[in-house]
Structure 1
Amino acid sequence: MTASKTNDRVGTIETRGIEPVPDSERHGHAGQMFWTWFAANISILGLPLGTTLVAFRGLNIWQAALVAVLGSFGSFALVGALSLAGKKGGAPALTLSRAVFGQRGNAGPTLITWLSRVGWETITTTTAAYALLALLNTAFGVGRGTVLTLVCLLFFITCTLLISGLGHATIMWINKWATVVFGVLNLIVMGFLVATVDWTRVLDTSAGATSGVVAGIGFIAAGTGIGWANAGADYARYLPRGIPGRRLVVASAFGAGIPLVLLISLGSLLAAGDGTLATSSDPVAAINAMLPSWMAIPYLIAAFGGLLMSNHLSTYSAGLTMITLGLRVPRALAVTFDVVLMFAGGIYFILITDDFYGPFSTFLTLLAVPISAWIGVVAVDSLRGRTYDPEAIMDTRSTSRYWYTGGFHLPAVLGWAGAIVAGLLFTKASTSADDVWFAGPLSDTWFGANGLGWAIAMVVAGAVYAVCGPRGSSLAADSSSVSSEALQEAAR
């Protein structure tokens, strides 16, 4: 069967849900991962990450740039490595995760992943609505109001639904060409923003503590690659098995690393030159105010487009995750359900709460722990040579080879749950010194103070699973449709 028979063509609705893609329908090349992750990270949400490094971590611009490189490239190299499971098994990340955690045990990681996706979508939608409101005000003098805010939210959500609803082929095509357009616009805007910086103040900023650098790397990793690590396989599942794995890792790292380093560094530079940026409840308007009036429209178009590129990817993955959770609807309809929640979240952020950065940072901090624990288990499982039985992946009955003990693969589930507890012990999530949402009993230790609870969760989960989990041949699938030769190639 050819790829076209599954409607994986640009402009047609992808009819495939979470079922594994057979070899006869595989197509594409490693470069698609470059454009996928470039698109996911071209949005202006990289700027708040950069302002946080300076305003709340105490780093200077040189330290912030180093942190951006290590956190961005490193975390997305991990995303690329985990996406190899998609090339090998042909299914979304959380669907393949059934083989690791068991058909019932996989529900916990899948639910957390879905919450993560919805959270990211809400933040992105909120920021995009700010951009559209500012664009209307700049171009036509239209003032902000409740009705107009709702219209802007709906417009962005409709654009998201049109792209993510059509599915994989359309997303891959748009990622490449739209990213080029919005990337050029972003570069032009960035040039003007750099020209507004108070360089004397920036260069006089003293270096922060080494612990701040360590904490910054963890914060950037948690806010970028870690948040996407459980989605990499979603976009690699159509790729031929024969593509060398190292190409996917390099393409992912550079695809995300290039825009993130530029945006995070710029955010750090702007915050060092103007301390009020980090406390703004509307980051789009705050940056817009730094530009000459004639430059505002290109900036706002670039902001809106970049956010759309990120949001349609997150929404696509969220739809697949909902189906994995048990929602029995076509993929396109699952995406529709997701955008309804996105709309409600956008209303809350814009019309109810008046703080953008606080919830943003807190959200990243808390969800990074269970996601990192999942990464720890899955990474060890993959390194041990996991292969996937396509029929068993889709069989959620007790007859499935991935049913294990009552539907739970205990080494993976217990390792994941224990790692979450361990990570939260060292985690503090707060919007300010006086507004602490959560503080683990060990959050004031060196690891906790430097925001490394997520890293501890990853290490603990991997260690527990390495000791208690299965090894070698017990991980191999017995599906006759997967040749040993193809599996060796996929593991490269």
Structure 2
Amino acid sequence: MTEHEPAPTSQTLAIETRTIDVVPDAERHGSPRSQFTLWFGANMQITAIVDGALAVVFGADALWAVVGLLLGNIAGGVVMALHAAQGPRMGLPQMISSRAQFGVRGAAIPLVLVILMYLGFAATGTVLTGQAINKIIGTDIPAVGIIIFGTLTAIVAIFGYRLIHVVGRIATVAGVVGFTYLAIRLFTEYDISAHIGVVPFSAPTFLFAIALGAGWQLTFGPYVADYSRYLPRKTQEGTTFWSTFAGSVIGSQWSMTLGALVAAVAGDAFLGNQVGFIGDLAGPALVAIALYLVIVCGKLAVNVLNAYGGFMSVLTTVTAFKGRTQISQVSRALYIIGFILISMLIALLASAEFLTNFRNFVLLLLMVFIPWSAINLVDYYLVSKERIDIPALYDPNGRYGAWNVPALLVYAGGVLVQIPFLAQTLYTGPITHLLGGADISWIVGLVVTAVVYYFVAKRTSCPPDQMIYPAESHMNDLNANN
């Protein structure tokens, strides 16, 4: 089978055996086009619509909200796609590479935050998707839809990489058809022009829209390479970058633009019942059910990424202290099921005041992941210059050590430096007041962390002269453990 041929059904439905170990060249497959469909499909979904709506809900005019969201998606998409480009060269999940910056065990600190991110996104997405499933089957019991969606997520995540990409392709087709239909219905049912350009430009709300778009993209950073690591090692970084960037930015901007317009014309009708409003907008009952299925499909595509990435992050954390790289397929399934059960419990407990909670959640994640992204990208592209000692990533006594204190201090400083610039419900920084409420914390965190880390790492890092891969015999040992 060549790298461009689709996988046979038997391979697609085989449970993946690779976890946090290097993917050998013999198992590499696919093309960068798969990154486009995966990330396009994962962003054509109801939570992205809600994210776009938030820009209008919190005061922006629909036109300026769309422009701000686009700028944020582009800026965050660049960072996100730079992470994706690391996958084919290293053949590793994203967060394992953090050990090169923070140490084999020190990487557990940002990993804990990553796991919380996966749980949060999985839970918030499950709330909305559970509502859509309940609409389809005709029940008002929230737990029913949540349990069904959790089960679907577990099945796909357990099978792993190949099936995840298949779901992404299905979600891409469903999303294009469903969201195009929704846009047509929106423009025929409402006078869109009467709701655009009616609110004066406001710098704080415009910057908030940019932050929403950027935050959406940046939170993909910790797991985007998980889904490009099987691409052949010779895959050009540029093609991986642009395929991922285009899929994620186009898909998210499409959804967020629809959300901004819906919020502008619908107001409280959308705020109180996001999924129900989409169903009503669809029209006839059968069409509404089809749209609910589109919602389920899009959310399944992204929720599987959360469960799969959450499992990878938990395993990366555990193995940093236990020294193993492989687990049995039963253990793999139990990890994933346990993660999904926790996210379902959160979904049941946190469904009230969804919009406000989701806004605060996105902005909080932006605060803690900006410094991680800055450190990872500066180290990989500017300090190590794409030269990683991969075997040392699994050895706390190796090149990268157990704890890289200077990098961890820079990371902590990158989080703290944002506090005066925050604009959140629980806390608004003093500089934010001077800026009229504009939240630029993510820009400050990105720039300051990148600059400080670069000078610190140039003094403390010791990258190899070239990329070091595991010996073939070591690869065979890993295969035997699967």
TMscore range, shorter length: 0.7 to 0.9
State the distance in 2 between where 1:343 and 1:408 align: 34
CA offsets 1:139-160 (integer angstroms, 9 cap, x no match): xxx4x13xxx222111101100
Counterpart of 2:122 in structure 1 is 121
Give 1:263 deviation, angstroms. Answer: 1.5
| 8 Å Cα contact 1:57/1:216 also seen in 2 | no
State the distance in 1 between where 2:152 and 2:370 align: 31
Taking a change above 3 Å as real, the CA distance of residues 44 and 460 of structure 1, as seen in their structure-2 partners, is same
| 8 Å Cα contact 2:420/2:429 also seen in 1 | yes
State the distance in 2 between where 1:31 and 1:266 align: 25
After superposition, the CA RMSD in angstroms is 2.5
Give 1:231 deviation, angstroms. Answer: 0.9
User: Is structure 2 residue 144 aligned with structure 1 residue 151?
Assistant: yes
Counterpart of 2:53 in structure 1 is 51
User: Is structure 2 residue 279 aligned with structure 1 residue 288?
Assistant: yes
Scaled by the length of structure 2, what TM-score is found? 0.88
Taking a change above 3 Å as real, the CA distance of residues 464 and 331 of structure 1, as seen in their structure-2 partners, is farther
Taking a change above 3 Å as real, the CA distance of residues 438 and 331 of structure 1, as seen in their structure-2 partners, is farther
Counterpart of 2:376 in structure 1 is 378
Counterpart of 1:488 in structure 2 is none
| 8 Å Cα contact 2:43/2:252 also seen in 1 | yes
Counterpart of 1:427 in structure 2 is 422
**Match runs of 1:127-206 below 5 Å:** 127-137=128-138, 142=139, 144-145=140-141, 149-199=142-192, 201-203=194-196, 205-206=198-199
Taking a change above 3 Å as real, the CA distance of residues 480 and 105 of structure 1, as seen in their structure-2 partners, is closer
Aligned match of 2:366 in 356, 368, 384?
Answer: 368
Gaps of at least 5 residues in structure 1 are 431-436, 484-492
User: Is structure 2 residue 394 aligned with structure 1 residue 394?
Assistant: yes
What percent identity do the matched residue pairs reach? 25
Counterpart of 1:434 in structure 2 is none
Taking a change above 3 Å as real, the CA distance of residues 105 and 312 of structure 1, as seen in their structure-2 partners, is same
| 8 Å Cα contact 1:415/1:465 also seen in 2 | yes
Give 1:240 deviation, angstroms. Answer: 1.6
Letter in 2 for 1:468: V
State the distance in 2 between where 1:105 and 1:400 align: 13
| 8 Å Cα contact 2:49/2:256 also seen in 1 | yes
| 8 Å Cα contact 1:73/1:256 also seen in 2 | no
Taking a change above 3 Å as real, the CA distance of residues 210 and 479 of structure 1, as seen in their structure-2 partners, is closer
State the distance in 2 between where 1:426 and 1:233 align: 30
State the distance in 1 between where 2:237 and 2:265 align: 42
State the distance in 1 between where 2:137 and 2:113 align: 36
Aligned match of 2:413 in 408, 412, 418?
Answer: 418
Aligned match of 2:427 in 434, 438, 462?
Answer: 438
Taking a change above 3 Å as real, the CA distance of residues 375 and 46 of structure 1, as seen in their structure-2 partners, is same
Letter in 2 for 1:68: L
CA offsets 1:408-429 (integer angstroms, 9 cap, x no match): 2133211100010111232132
| 8 Å Cα contact 1:53/1:268 also seen in 2 | yes
User: Is structure 2 residue 72 aligned with structure 1 residue 71?
Assistant: yes
Taking a change above 3 Å as real, the CA distance of residues 411 and 386 of structure 1, as seen in their structure-2 partners, is farther
Give 1:199 deviation, angstroms. Answer: 2.9
Taking a change above 3 Å as real, the CA distance of residues 480 and 412 of structure 1, as seen in their structure-2 partners, is closer
Letter in 2 for 1:311: N
State the distance in 1 between where 2:97 and 2:468 align: 18
User: Is structure 2 residue 460 aligned with structure 1 residue 460?
Assistant: no
Taking a change above 3 Å as real, the CA distance of residues 444 and 74 of structure 1, as seen in their structure-2 partners, is same
CA offsets 1:7-48 (integer angstroms, 9 cap, x no match): 993001111110111233222211111012112201111221
Larger CA deviation: 255-264 vs 190-199: 190-199
State the distance in 1 between where 2:423 and 2:250 align: 30
Aligned match of 1:469 in 457, 462, 471?
Answer: 457
| 8 Å Cα contact 2:388/2:468 also seen in 1 | no
Letter in 1 for 2:423: K
Counterpart of 2:479 in structure 1 is none
Partner of 1:475: helix, strand, or coil? coil
State the distance in 1 between where 2:124 and 2:469 align: 42
Give 1:211 deviation, angstroms. Answer: 4.0
Taking a change above 3 Å as real, the CA distance of residues 244 and 162 of structure 1, as seen in their structure-2 partners, is same
Taking a change above 3 Å as real, the CA distance of residues 284 and 94 of structure 1, as seen in their structure-2 partners, is same
Scaled by the length of structure 1, what TM-score is found? 0.86
State the distance in 2 between where 1:106 and 1:304 align: 34
State the distance in 2 between where 1:479 and 1:205 align: 55
Taking a change above 3 Å as real, the CA distance of residues 65 and 441 of structure 1, as seen in their structure-2 partners, is closer
Give 1:479 deviation, angstroms. Answer: 6.3
Partner of 2:185: helix, strand, or coil? helix
Counterpart of 2:475 in structure 1 is none
State the distance in 2 between where 1:104 and 1:184 align: 46
Give 1:278 deviation, angstroms. Answer: 5.7
State the distance in 1 between where 2:309 and 2:170 align: 21
| 8 Å Cα contact 2:44/2:254 also seen in 1 | no
Taking a change above 3 Å as real, the CA distance of residues 161 and 271 of structure 1, as seen in their structure-2 partners, is same
Taking a change above 3 Å as real, the CA distance of residues 473 and 467 of structure 1, as seen in their structure-2 partners, is closer
CA offsets 1:389-434 (integer angstroms, 9 cap, x no match): 2221122x3x22211xxx221332111000101112321322xxxx
